Amino acid sequence: MSTVFQFTSHGIRPSLVTSLANQLDKNTVGYLTWKAGAQSAMSTVIVRDTPRSHTSVSLQFGIPHTYISLTYTHKLEEYELKLRGALKAGTFGTVLEYGAEKKVSQHSSVAATVAVGVPSGVTLVVKLVRSNQTYSFPIHLSEEIVPSPVFYATAVPIVVYGVVKRLVIDPILKDQKEREKEKRRESNKARMAEKKREAQASVSLMRNTFARIRSEEEVRKGLVIVKALYGRSSVVSTFGNPSSGEKDSEREQTSVDDDVIDVTIPLQCLVKDSKLSLHEASKSQLPGFYDPCVGEDKVLMVQYLYHTHLHEVTVGDTETLRIPKQTHRVNPT
């Protein structure tokens, strides 16, 4: 319950609002509201909210307006986008609304809604929400419903947003991401250096084991790791060609790039009876590995010979890896 006292030139106008809510099921709530005062009304609203959608149906009898409305919002979480449609009909006329809301940063979103109604005409409302602040820009385009205002109210916001996103928003977000990445890298610099030293020491101790397993696998024409790279997914693919001039006896666990490391030796040492199996866990925890790019999406790319045929596979950081497999073969005949 709540009470409102409005001070006007004609004196004080009190009003009372009483609301009752009932949880109908896990995702649905019903509201019954009574407003007493200058604009008295009785309304009922049913709201259903799920991870993918939001639906609201309301019916109001009151002064000055009586109406019924239906609102539906579809949530596209993967795109941080909401598509909304609404239909209202009552003593004020009939209004059809449609629009979209897009989250552009952690605390900001932009929305555009087109309202087409009788007798209100065509109106475009653009909203910018920044934290607790909301900026609304209503633009009345036409007193009557005609195709051209409806088309421009729909198309212009989409085109403007696309241009602004490409020229302004994307560069800003990219710059923020790079600054956060650099900040994260600096904060983890000492720890990463220690992890790198530990990994290189482990690889040095693996040399004899690597040479023995590699030799055994070559003799039996089994599983021979030609090249294995671990690191940031967008960089690993650019280093896919094996180094033909590199001697296996001289190969070190080195940083191919700031965000990618060569893990051929430690991976070959995990081969047993011409098979290699890695379970669902971060590859950075394996002997001879370390995380070269904390917080980034990482992959493991492996080029290997099996029965003298070249194979290649790339898996995510926490994905299972089992080799050899026929599906990994390069240019099978």
Q: Is residue 248 pLDDT above 50, yes or no?
A: no
d(CA 221, CA 223): 7
Q: Which two tokens stand for residue 263?
A: 């893990």
Q: What is the pLDDT of residue 332?
A: 64
CA 194, 199, 203, 205 torsion-angle sign: positive
Task: Tell me the percentage of the chain whose pLDDT exceeds 90.
Answer: 64
pTM: 0.58
C-alpha atoms less than 13 angstroms from C-alpha of 9 in its C-beta half-sphere: 0
According to the model, what pLDDT value does residue 238 have?
63
Residue 240 pLDDT > 70, yes or no? no
Which residue from 135, 138, 86 is spatially nearest to 108, judged by alpha carbons? 135
Beta bridge partners, 327, equal none
pLDDT at 44: 96
State how far the Cα of 280 lies from the Cα of 99, in Å rounded to an integer: 42
Tens of pLDDT, residues 61-88: 998 889 999 999 999 988 899 999 999 9
Mean pLDDT of 248-267: 70
Q: What is the pLDDT of residues 131-183, one digit of tens each?
A: 889 999 999 999 999 999 999 999 999 999 899 889 988 898 889 888 887 88
Question: Which pLDDT score, from 0 to 100, does residue 257 have?
Answer: 63
Compare 256 and 186 and report the one with higher pLDDT: 186
Quick one: pLDDT at residue 244? 40
CA distance 115 to 119: 11
> Is a pLDDT exceeding 90 seen at residue 250?
no
The structure tokens listed for 126 are 């653009």
Cα(278)–Cα(319) distance, integer angstroms: 8
Q: Give the pLDDT of residue 245.
A: 40
